Structure 1
Amino acid sequence: MRRRTPLAPLVVVGLVLLVVTVLVAVAIGPAGLGVGEVARSIGGHLGLDVTPVPRLHDAIVWELRLPRVLTAAAVGAGLALSGAVMQSLTRNPLADPYLLGLSSGASLGAVAVLVVGVSLLLPVAAFVGALLALVATFSLARTGGTLTPGRAVLAGLAVSQLCAAGTSLVIFWTATGDSYREILSWLLGSLAGSDWQSVAIAGIAVLVVGGIVLAQAVRLDAFAFGDTAAGALGIDVDRTRWTLMTLVALLTGAMVAVSGAIGFVGLVLPHAVVALTGPAHRRLLPVTALAGAVFLIWADTLARTVFDPRELPVGIVTALIGVPVFAVLLRRRQGAAWS
């Protein structure tokens, strides 16, 4: 049996890497900030006794770049964690956080307020759209039979297509002028408008919902052996599955509300991390969340700097990275069972 690295060192290394990534990513950009200057700016706002930095540089760090980087970290952690849980609950290695139609529902809600010109309500509209899509998916899946993972997935696909059609109709019928660019940027996933409110929404969702999900790690392990085995271990299979799916939906809805639909993070990261941690969720979930945070920070840093002064939606970058990485993982695991 292959010996795995203990969890504590993995988490410590992940946290250190995350802190370093945040400092370096905030420093990268046309203003020419140094990592030490970034650290002093953050330390000053946290009440530490540090040498002050120039007011302009402090504003760039605290008001512009740091909220965006922290939002990217929270969204990356939330999507990666959601993907790992969905793959376990459905026993489907191709499951991702958007499997239940959440991203399409959020997109419909977001586009509806963007075309009206009430962009301040975008996070609320996106979150409400995601929740309504979840309700529609569960309601459709229950029609004429028992609510099972297979029926939920099929219902999610149907709801996703319906919401996507509604989004296209709204854009075609009402979007004019610059609203097309704003809508397209959000649909492809973008962190350009992140502020401290975005940090609060995504961060609180990850800490609260993510903490509850992490506490269910042992129950998720039982699902790997099938519903019968999980039931034999004393787990209420249906109640646990749908409670966790609802929590994942809430977490995903909060992430999509602040960033749009960013693909491949929740699909690829769990498969990449499982090779390091093994399939046990007590190890897999926290490391996956940390990996997702680091990954999305660097993806967003590339999105805002590679074609400076123009900026790419971060969803394009995650797709360009995620597709070849997923192909490599698929090739390496050819002939083997997915975890």
Structure 2
Amino acid sequence: MPRRSTAPRRPVRADRRRTPLVLVLLALALAAGAVAGLALGPVRIPAGQVLEIVADGPRPGAFASIVWDVRMPRVLLAAVVGAGLAVTGAVLQALVRNQLADPFLLGASSGASAGAVAVIVLGLGAGVATSVTLPLAAFVGSLGALVTVYALARRGGTMTTGRLILAGVAVQYILSALTSLVLVLSARAEEVRSILFWTLGGLGGARWDELALPAAVLAVGTGLLLGLARPLDLLLAGEEDARTLGLDTGRFRAAVFVLTSLVIGVLVAFSGAIGFVGLMVPHAARMVVGAGHRALLPVAALGGAVFLMLTDLVARTAAAPEEIPVGVVTALVGGPFFLWMLRRSSRSEGVTG
């Protein structure tokens, strides 16, 4: 008989009175973080002047060029990627019923990076074609990694925390080793720089013409996942209970794996592998508004946008004029958080059917 988790079930209802206030506060924090991101850097621009430049729109001038052409795309990409990683992290945690799940820890980000690197090295597509082949390859890599980790961790109808983490780490190591092998064998400096970008994560290459696809995928993906809030809540109640209430858990989980892999793949195609956002932000959001996904997902989206926007600001100002990859900053914050979460869950096992 499969051993059921002894951990107490978390409530799936959110505090409806608290959620609107939390969303308003996060929206204000997002606006403040955006102003800080536009104002701070090697060239500092007063916040008041930043607001004037934004209100007036693109115009000639050094400060206006810095705000609109250099910093604005980066700030917006940070918000989009952070929101997407947090939302997919929250959904993956529900799918595997384990709060240690995360796009990075489950190998999805590494798989997406490996797919993107393959496109770069093999030279598949050029110009406009690359904007299609790169996200497509990242999606395939992300989905393949997620399915592999899930298959390795699930045994005998159960999925323990230990097996999930070990499977994720194993897949990450294999994919990282393959990426490193390509890096060593690559003879072109441009390829080496690109591969390092995918392995460490970074937002420095953000451009206006590349924002439309990740923003559209985030909007559509989050909207679809919000529509699936009730079945996601049913999964939290347990596999047997969800089936009793009419949910085809196998088909539902497969469909949502594909959807989350698509979102992760497209985001990683434009940002590289950025870890721990999908672990920390959903956990913090769940502590504030509860586990119900109708409230959790929008709070996680705004929280992820704020978090990555601020960590990217740290990445490009802490060691100025040098820039630290934002994935390094999130790992420095997320690594200790992961160890704390792992210690908390050491006496219980997550179970899925």
TM-score range, shorter chain: 0.7 to 0.9
Q: Do the aligned partners of 2:88 and 2:260 also contact (CA within 8 Å) in 1?
A: yes
Of 68, 75, 81, the match for 1:69: 75
1:250 Cα deviation (Å)? Answer: 0.7
Say which structure, 1 or 2, has more relative contact order (CA 8 Å, 6+ apart).
Answer: 2
| C-alpha contact 1:188 1:260 (8 A) present in aligned 2 | yes
Matched, 1:308 2:315: no
What is residue 49 of structure 1 aligned with on the other side?
none
Trace 1:183-332 onto structure 2 (pairs within 5 A).
183-328=195-340
Cα distance change of structure 1 residues 303 and 242 upon mapping to structure 2, 3 Å threshold: same
Q: Is this contact kept in 1: 2:186–2:192, CA < 8 A?
A: no
Indicate the SS of the match to 1:57: helix
Which aligned pairs between 1:17-28 and structure 2 lie closer than 5 A? 17-28=29-40
- Secondary structure of 1:224's counterpart equals helix
Q: Alignment identity in percent?
A: 42
Aligned to 1:37: 49
CA distance in 2, matches of 1:283, 1:337: 26
1:132 CA drift (Å): 2.4
- In the superposition, the TM-score normalised over structure 1's length comes to 0.84
CA positional deviation for 1:72: 0.3
Counterpart check, 1:59 vs 2:65: yes
Counterparts in 2 of 1:318 and 1:77: CA distance versus 1, 3 Å? same
* TM-score of the pair, normalised by structure 2: 0.81
Alpha-carbon distance in 1 for matches of 2:83, 2:147: 25
1:13 equivalenced with 2:25 (yes/no): yes
Query: Is 1:92–2:104 an aligned residue pair?
Result: no
SS for the counterpart of 2:45 is coil
Counterpart residue type for residue 83 of structure 1: G
Q: 1:60-109: per-residue Cα shift (whole Å, max 9, x none)?
A: 11110010001001100000110010011101222112466432332223
Q: 1:307 is paired with a residue of what secondary structure?
A: coil
Instruction: Measure the CA separation in 1 of the matches of 2:119 and 2:320.
Output: 29
Separation in structure 2 between the aligned mates of residue 53 and residue 131 of structure 1, nearest angstrom? 37
The answer for the alignment partner of 2:116 in structure 1 is 110
Which stretches in structure 1 are left out of the alignment for 5+ residues?
46-51
CA deviation profile, 1:3-37 (whole Å, cap 9, x unmatched)? 94522111122112111211121111122212222
Measured against aligned partners, the alpha-carbon deviations of 1:258-296 in whole angstroms (never above 9, x if no partner) come to 100000101111112211111111221111111110000
Supply the distance in 2 between the matched residues of 1:157 and 1:331 (Cα, whole angstroms).
17
Q: CA RMSD in A?
A: 3.5
| 1:131 equivalent in alignment to 2:131 | no
CA contact (8 A) 1:100 1:157 kept: yes
- Partner amino acid, structure 2, of 1:281: H
* Contact persistence 1:126–1:253 (CA under 8 A): no
Please say which of residues 279-288 and 127-136 is displaced more in the overlay: 127-136
Deviation at 1:331, TM superposition (A): 6.0
Q: 1:13/1:337 Cα in 2 relative to 1: closer, same or farther (>3 Å)?
A: farther
Give me the whole-angstrom Cα distance separating, in 2, the residues matched to 1:322 and 1:146.
Answer: 28
In the other structure, the counterpart of 1:180 is 192
Q: Is the 8 A contact 1:101 1:130 kept in 2?
A: no
Amino acid of the residue matched to residue 213 of structure 1? L
In the TM superposition, residue 333 of structure 1 has moved relative to its aligned partner by 7.4
Q: Return 5+ residue gaps in structure 2 as ranges.
A: 1-10
SS in 1 for 2:211: helix
Q: Residue 139 and residue 261 in structure 1: after superposition, are their counterparts in 2 closer, same or farther (change >3 A)?
A: closer
